[in-house]
Amino acid sequence: MTATAEVSDQQQSGSDQVRQAARGSALNIVGALVAAVVSFATVGIITNNYGQVGAGLFFSATAIFTLAANGARLGSESGLTYFVSRLRAGGEAGALPRLIRHAVGSTVVVSTLLAIVGFVSAPNLAAMLTSDAENSGAMTTMVRALAIGIPAFAASQALSGASRGFGTMRPSVMAGQIVRPLSQLALVLVAAFVVSAGLEGVAVAWSTAAYMALIPILVWMVLRLRRRQSGPSELSLMGYWRFTGPRAVTDMVSSTLERLDVLLVAYFLTEADAGLYGASARLILVGQMMMFATSQSMAPHLSANFLTGRLDEAKQVLHTVSGWNVTLLWPAFIGLAFGAGTVLQLFGSEFVEGSSIVVLLCIALIIIIGLGVGDTLLLMTGDSLASLINHIAALVIMVSTSALLLPKVGVIGAAWAWALSRIVIRGLAVLRVWQTSRIHAFGRPVVIAGCIALAAYVPTGFAMHTLVGNGVIAIALHAMTGLAIQAALVFRFRDDLDMDQLQNTLRRRPAKAAAVEQSTTPDPSEQTQKLRFGVEETNQ
């Protein structure tokens, strides 16, 4: 093959990966939107029926549940995405069944032990987070009910990571973004309106939904592993644990970062303040889920490209999809920042005072999205130790900032602590990957997409909310005028943003898309086939 032909093949491979990442992102984004809308409705039911205090108790209990369940994964979600994709790219798919059984089995054992600990220690946890005996009793029951669901949630997360390593988003989207939130909504409706249960019944419904989400992803994985896996079946688990060991600790730290803000508000302030902050923070859930959706779709491609040394393909996927992220998500957060007070009224009039929290979180997320996928990119280079260090630094910042600000400025201090900690994680990850691989997300697509979003939505936001006033009409006019301007500018710069490729990808027939999903990367070169699993997968 000539040098020219080789370059052509590599460019085509990069384009194929962008198309597949785009389709995976589109599917994940649809799932994220469904999950966000359903979760918003579920939270609305809870806040409107149980008020700020009830919502604070529930958010605190679910924060403990999420912290324990995510920590119990032992790094398996990221680890399985990383290694499944690399084993397949390196022609060693025969080792997959043993790897997945080992990783998921370890997760189930640890999560079961954590569930037992949570069940026993529930009264002590409740005493720390409540101010009176009645609330403490309700919190104890909720923590115990949610503890039962920890093994199911942790196992489903691990299996979702493995499924993404096979180059498909469908199983994880179906289980985590369709079945679980819909089950939560249906069961919460039954608990709140059919049997008129209190918060304890809502917690039981939440926990039950975790098992309902486990079923489809478990069935898919069993059927997938029954297929004959070609390639060597020898497997040394030392390399897996060298990667996931730091990642397991990172999961604990990351889970703490994810939910500690609500617990800190409950500890330093009151249950009502925790309810206000928890409900306000839920408004940014859709954007967070969509960010996670696109990073998940890129992860297996980035991992395989780093393994095979195809840095140009990795850069192409990263720059293009990051530009699409800014195009899609910046308008959503700009619009939410302008209309925060109106949207919060859906949770109840007492939650409108949380609008300043929403505005601050939206600004932080705009910065975070502009920095790229950050920690996902860092992990796919194999540098799980650097990821751990970044998360520890962010946790220190969150705790210290919360302890300093919450007693002085109130609940808005938790938003500042959240924003600073997340920007630190993303920024440190970007710097580390640039240092080791000279790759970052700040390509021409991101710059152009960011300028378009700011030009289209910031002036129109000020204009509409000044002329019309705050309300649904102002939000609708802002969205329509901003979208019209953005669409015109995106069309003008469609080549720079590679929008034609996105459009063509989304128009492809499902049969063709399914054919693409069978492999996440082109066949590796002879040199990369010599790389052995467990030897060169980390960069610590």
* pLDDT tens column, 432-487: 888 877 776 677 888 999 999 999 999 999 999 998 888 899 999 999 999 999 99
Given this model, what pLDDT does residue 33 score? Answer: 77
Residue that wins the pLDDT comparison between 259 and 374 = 259
Q: What is the pLDDT of residues 230-245, one digit of tens each?
A: 666 666 677 788 878 7
User: Please, what is the Cα angle at 500 between 498 and 504, to 5 degrees?
Assistant: 125
Rounded to whole angstroms, the Cα distance separating 4 from 1 reads 8
**Minimum mean pLDDT range among 71-75, 142-146, 479-483:** 71-75
Q: Which distant-in-sequence residues (6+ apart) come within 8 Å of 476 by Cβ?
A: none
Band of residue 522 on the pLDDT scale cut at 50, 70, 90? very low
Given this model, what pLDDT does residue 349 score? Answer: 84
Q: Flag whether pLDDT at 412 surpasses 90.
A: yes
Task: Give pTM, 2 decimals.
Answer: 0.72
Band of residue 92 on the pLDDT scale cut at 50, 70, 90? confident
Whole-number mean pLDDT of the chain?
Answer: 80
Other beta carbons within 10 angstroms of residue 455's beta carbon come to 14
Q: State what percent of residues in the chain have pLDDT above 70.
A: 79
Rounded to whole angstroms, the Cα distance separating 141 from 70 reads 21
**Minimum mean pLDDT range among 187-196, 307-316, 386-395, 519-528:** 519-528
Given this model, what pLDDT does residue 37 score? Answer: 84
Distance between alpha carbon 335 and the CA centroid of its chain, in Å?
Answer: 21
Q: What is the pLDDT of residues 331-360, one digit of tens each?
A: 999 999 999 999 998 888 888 989 999 999
pLDDT, mean of residues 21-26: 57
Residue that wins the pLDDT comparison between 507 and 227 = 227
Q: Which distant-in-sequence residues (6+ apart) come within 8 Å of 188 by Cβ?
A: 42, 45, 46, 202, 205, 206
> Per the domain annotation, does 526 fall within a domain?
no
Radius of gyration of the chain (CA): 23
Q: Flag whether pLDDT at 514 surpasses 50.
A: no
Given this model, what pLDDT does residue 502 score? Answer: 59
pLDDT, mean of residues 270-282: 88
Given this model, what pLDDT does residue 301 score? Answer: 61
> Per the domain annotation, does 254 fall within a domain?
yes
Given this model, what pLDDT does residue 197 score? Answer: 77
Q: Flag whether pLDDT at 518 surpasses 60.
A: no
Given this model, what pLDDT does residue 8 score? Answer: 36
Other beta carbons within 10 angstroms of residue 131's beta carbon come to 14
Domain count, the chain: 1
Given this model, what pLDDT does residue 304 score? Answer: 64
Structural domain of 309: 11-516
Q: What is the pLDDT of residues 183-203, one digit of tens each?
A: 999 999 998 888 777 888 999
> Per the domain annotation, does 80 fall within a domain?
yes
> Per the domain annotation, does 524 fall within a domain?
no
Rounded to whole angstroms, the Cα distance separating 464 from 481 reads 9
Band of residue 372 on the pLDDT scale cut at 50, 70, 90? confident
Given this model, what pLDDT does residue 297 score? Answer: 59
Given this model, what pLDDT does residue 27 score? Answer: 65
Given this model, what pLDDT does residue 155 score? Answer: 94
Residue that wins the pLDDT comparison between 295 and 489 = 489
pLDDT, mean of residues 405-421: 94
**Minimum mean pLDDT range among 160-164, 172-176, 300-304:** 300-304
Given this model, what pLDDT does residue 317 score? Answer: 72
> Per the domain annotation, does 531 fall within a domain?
no
Q: Are 87 and 93 in contact (CB under 8 A)?
A: yes
Question: Any idea how long the chain is?
Answer: 540
Q: Flag whether pLDDT at 516 surpasses 50.
A: no
Q: Are 436 and 539 in contact (CB under 8 A)?
A: yes
> Per the domain annotation, does 522 fall within a domain?
no
> Per the domain annotation, does 530 fall within a domain?
no
Given this model, what pLDDT does residue 361 score? Answer: 94
Angle of helix 150-165 relative to helix 285-308, nearest 10 degrees, comes to 50
> Per the domain annotation, does 538 fall within a domain?
no
